């Protein structure tokens, strides 16, 4: 029986073609599956990352806004505290006036802001009650400073020592204008800094006028 080489060759070619087609199809299927896996992974994991990033951005934005809101509040609180502190300091520096039951004394004045007036007595302090001396003039300056008038416009009616004549003095003074208020000024010596007012009494009448 003769062999039909022609038919055999066609069948072989067809089988080879089918195998080639199957290989191509299988390869495409594998590629599609890989692409599906990659896309799915990107959607699943990438979506979570985007959410995390969006959450981080949102949190950062909220934190920034919170800090921006908090900062003006802190500034306002600081300003309020500073104003309160200034008010407290102002109240502490205001003169304190109290009515008095003492004979011939209308009121007593004390001012926390009073300070020593300074001194030219560099070689040491020596209290003097003689007119024209350095210490005498500094006593008058301290009294004028306490009552708020100039030395040139002030009449010293009486100057005497306190319980310690070296470190305490009492001056009765008034303005030179007739009918002016009369004050009794108490001063004390501060080493190296000069005479400092400690108390002023406004008198009802001048008990040192001669």
d(CA 188, CA 194): 8
Please tell me the pTM assigned to this model.
0.59
pLDDT at 133: 97
pLDDT at 186: 99
74 φ, ψ (degrees, to nearest 5): -60, -40
- State how far the alpha carbon of 23 is from the alpha carbons of 18, 26, 192, 210, in Å: 8, 5, 112, 138
pLDDT in tens, the chain (210 residues): 554 545 556 666 677 778 888 888 888 898 989 988 888 888 877 655 555 555 565 565 566 555 555 555 555 566 666 666 555 555 567 999 999 999 999 999 999 999 999 999 988 899 999 999 999 999 999 999 999 999 999 999 999 999 999 999 999 999 999 899 999 999 999 999 999 999 999 999 999 987
Specify whether the CB–CB gap between 185 and 143 falls below 8 A: yes
pLDDT at 59: 62
d(CA 180, CA 155): 10
Domain range summary for the chain, segments of one domain joined by +: 1-93, 95-203
d(CA 177, CA 80): 46
CA 197 to chain centre: 32
């Amino acid at each position: 029986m003769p062999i039909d080489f022609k038919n055999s060759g066609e069948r072989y070619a067809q089988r080879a073609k089918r195998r080639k087609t199957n290989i191509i199809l299988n390869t495409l299927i594998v590629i599609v599956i890989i692409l599906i896996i990659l896309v799915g992974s990107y959607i699943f994991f990438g979506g979570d990352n985007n959410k995390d990033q969006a959450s981080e951005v949102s949190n950062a934005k909220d934190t920034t806004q919170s800090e921006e809101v908090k900062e003006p509040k802190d500034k306002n609180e600081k300003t309020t505290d500073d104003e309160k502190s200034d008010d407290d300091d102002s109240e502490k520096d205001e003169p304190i006036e109290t009515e008095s039951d003492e004979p011939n004394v209308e009121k007593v004045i004390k001012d926390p802001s009073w300070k020593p007036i300074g001194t030219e007595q560099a070689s040491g302090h020596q209290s003097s009650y003689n007119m024209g001396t350095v210490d005498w003039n500094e006593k008058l300056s301290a009294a004028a400073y306490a009552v708020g008038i100039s030395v040139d416009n002030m009449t010293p009616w009486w100057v005497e020592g306190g319980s310690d004549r070296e470190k305490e003095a009492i001056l009765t003074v008034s303005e030179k204008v007739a009918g002016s208020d009369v004050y009794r000024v108490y001063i004390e010596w501060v080493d190296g800094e000069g005479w400092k007012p400690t108390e002023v009494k406004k008198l009802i009448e001048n008990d040192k006028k001669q």
